[in-house]
């Protein structure tokens, strides 16, 4: 049977216990309950709920298509229900990512991170089994996946599978200019031919982000990323952007190990405390709270298979919950200690334009007003 299946991941930070660490168990139970009801009512085929730091992710399959008002409104109302639990319990940052009042229809741009992709789910010869991964990051800037996804989909040093016939034509990168807030401004570039152009954009994690990646051989969407800047939307500090990504894997696409291996770098991204530092991205198991020293950017990765009816396998894979990643976590922590020993100086903190706390800018603009030209060095008045 052929079905047009949509995978939607919608994630939001709507409150947390003891500071910005993790949602409460009652908040999680509320979201899980709402998602189960949406499945019972037939809105969703299946759902899975987890958290990364203080962000709750709802992972869904359905046939309503991308940007479906019904699916988006379900997610919004569910986050409102979790917000009200957070408010009742006096939790920190209740409703933080719900930036607008009652958005109608599609909630992209309203605060929560949204990644969606659709495909013909027929379990055919070219795709005899469907499997995918969901990355979710917390305390983290919007372009955190730029480098790892570039390496997995454009560099055979990381993904030797790119040299195989189904992938050798490469992948098309849709790159979004996140400074453009009135609508999505996208450029499409083909790897490997445009590889250097892609890199020239993706090196700027704060402005440009991968929006999606498409197989050039099969014209199938393989990656969808939520690439948006919350503070650009809200015009004020709102917490970090904390992106999510859906990545299909195996067969005509890279294998899971080829997709996760670039995360072994624990590369430096914007984020961390007050969304204002440059710190390494630490891969962590699902449902990890943010409790370490500093406030490290973290990323989790869940894997699923999908049966012929669009339902998730009865169990999932937690990719970063493996001793292999302990070594990376240790390295991330030691990179973090090194970087933070530099405190506020230079590369250790984000440039002023990217500081998520506008207050830092206010401090400096207050000082700028007090600068005076020295009397003895004043330029001669024009004659």
Between 212 and 277, name the residue whose CB sits nearer to ligand 13P: 277
| Catalytic-labelled residue, pool 11, 64, 139, 240 | 240
Q: Which of 75, 82, 115, 95 is nearest to 234 (CA)?
A: 95
Residue of 138, 206, 258, 272 that binds Mg ion (CB under 5 A): 138
For the four alpha carbons of 268, 274, 275 and 276, in that order, the dihedral sign comes to negative
Q: Are 318 and 333 in contact (CB under 8 A)?
A: no
| Catalytic-labelled residue, pool 11, 13, 150, 242 | 13
Residue with smallest beta-carbon separation from ligand 13P: 239
Q: Are 202 and 136 in contact (CB under 8 A)?
A: no
Between 54 and 130, name the residue whose CB sits nearer to Mg ion: 54
| Catalytic-labelled residue, pool 92, 218, 237, 294 | 237
Is residue 142 near ligand 13P by the rule CB under 6 A? no
Q: Are 339 and 278 in contact (CB under 8 A)?
A: yes
Residue of 34, 46, 66, 138 that binds ligand 13P (CB under 6 A): 138
Residue of 72, 229, 231, 240 that binds ligand 13P (CB under 6 A): 240
- Kindly calculate the radius of gyration of the chain based on its CA atoms and give it in whole angstroms: 22
Binders of Mg ion among residues 210 to 269 (CB under 5 A) are: 239, 242
Q: In angstroms, rounded to a whole number, what is the distance separating the alpha carbons of residues 157 and 147?
A: 13
Binders of ligand 13P among residues 42 to 61 (CB under 6 A) are: 54
Q: Are 252 and 307 in contact (CB under 8 A)?
A: no
Residue of 8, 13, 174, 247 that binds ligand 13P (CB under 6 A): 13
C-alpha atoms less than 13 angstroms from C-alpha of 117 in its C-beta half-sphere:
22
Between 202 and 298, name the residue whose CB sits nearer to ligand 13P: 298
Q: Which of 257, 287, 277 is nearest to 337 (CA)?
A: 277
Give Cα separations from 192 to 116, 195, 229, 346 (angstroms).
Answer: 25, 5, 28, 34
Is residue 274 near Mg ion by the rule CB under 5 A? no
Give Cα separations from 112 to 100, 174, 190, 292, 321 (angstroms).
Answer: 10, 21, 29, 25, 25
Q: Is 240 a catalytic residue?
A: yes
Q: In angstroms, rounded to a whole number, what is the distance separating the alpha carbons of residues 207 and 181?
A: 11
Q: Are 202 and 146 in contact (CB under 8 A)?
A: yes
Residue of 34, 46, 54, 116 that binds Mg ion (CB under 5 A): 54
Fill in the per-residue mask, 164 to 203: x = in contact with ligand 13P (CB under 6 A), - = not in contact.
----------------------------------------
Is residue 275 near ligand 13P by the rule CB under 6 A? yes
Residue of 13, 46, 194, 272 that binds Mg ion (CB under 5 A): 13
Is residue 139 near ligand 13P by the rule CB under 6 A? yes
Is residue 295 near ligand 13P by the rule CB under 6 A? yes
Q: How far is the CB of 13 from Mg ion (least distance, A)?
A: 4
Q: How far is the CB of 22 from Mg ion (least distance, A)?
A: 10
Phi/psi region, residue 245 (left: phi>0; alpha: psi -120 to 50; beta: rest), is beta
Q: Are 230 and 107 in contact (CB under 8 A)?
A: no
Q: Is 41 a catalytic residue?
A: no
Fill in the per-residue mask, 65 to 104: x = in contact with ligand 13P (CB under 6 A), - = not in contact.
-------------------------------x--------
Query: What residues are annotated to the active site?
Result: 13, 237, 240
Instruction: Give the interface with ligand 13P as residue ranges (CB under 6 A).
Output: 13, 20, 54, 96, 138-139, 239-240, 242, 273-275, 295, 356
Interface contacts to Mg ion, rule CB under 5 A: 13, 20, 54-55, 93, 138, 239, 242
């Amino acid at each position: 049977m052929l079905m047009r299946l949509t995978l939607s991941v919608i994630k939001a930070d709507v409150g947390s216990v003891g500071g910005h660490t993790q949602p409460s168990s009652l908040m999680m139970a509320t979201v899980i309950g709402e998602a189960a009801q949406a499945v019972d009512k037939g809105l969703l085929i299946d759902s899975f709920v987890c958290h990364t730091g203080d962000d709750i992710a709802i992972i869904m399959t359905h046939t309503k298509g991308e940007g479906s008002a019904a699916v988006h409104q379900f997610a919004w109302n569910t986050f409102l229900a979790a917000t009200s639990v957070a408010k009742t319990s006096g939790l920190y940052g209740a409703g933080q990512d719900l930036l607008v009042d009652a958005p109608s229809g599609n909630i992209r741009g309203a605060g929560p991170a949204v990644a969606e992709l659709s495909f013909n789910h027929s379990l055919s010869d070219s795709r005899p089994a469907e499997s995918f991964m969901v990355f979710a990051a917390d305390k983290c800037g919007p372009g955190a996946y730029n480098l790892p996804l570039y390496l997995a989909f454009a560099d055979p040093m990381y993904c030797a599978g790119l040299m195989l016939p189904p992938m050798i034509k490469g992948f098309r990168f849709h790159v979004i200019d996140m400074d453009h807030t009135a609508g999505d401004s996208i450029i499409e570039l083909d790897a490997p031919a445009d590889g250097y152009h892609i890199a020239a954009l993706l090196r700027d994690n704060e402005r440009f982000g991968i929006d999606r990646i498409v197989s050039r051989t099969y014209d199938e969407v393989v990656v969808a990323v939520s690439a948006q800047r919350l503070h650009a939307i809200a015009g004020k500090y709102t917490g970090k952007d904390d992106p999510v990504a859906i990545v299909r894997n195996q067969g005509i696409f890279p294998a899971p190990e080829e997709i996760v291996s670039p995360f072994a770098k624990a590369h430096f991204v914007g984020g961390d405390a007050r969304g204002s530092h440059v710190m390494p991205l630490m891969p962590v198991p699902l449902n990890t709270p943010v409790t370490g020293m500093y406030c490290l950017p973290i990323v989790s990765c869940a894997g699923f298979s999908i049966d012929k009816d669009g339902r998730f396998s009865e169990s999932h894979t937690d990719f970063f919950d493996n001793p292999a990643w302990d070594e990376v976590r240790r390295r991330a922590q030691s990179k973090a200690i090194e970087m933070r020993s530099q405190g506020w100086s230079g590369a250790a903190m984000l440039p002023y334009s990217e500081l998520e706390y506008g207050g830092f800018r206010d401090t400096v603009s207050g000082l700028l007003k007090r600068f005076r030209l020295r009397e003895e060095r004043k330029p001669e008045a024009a004659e």
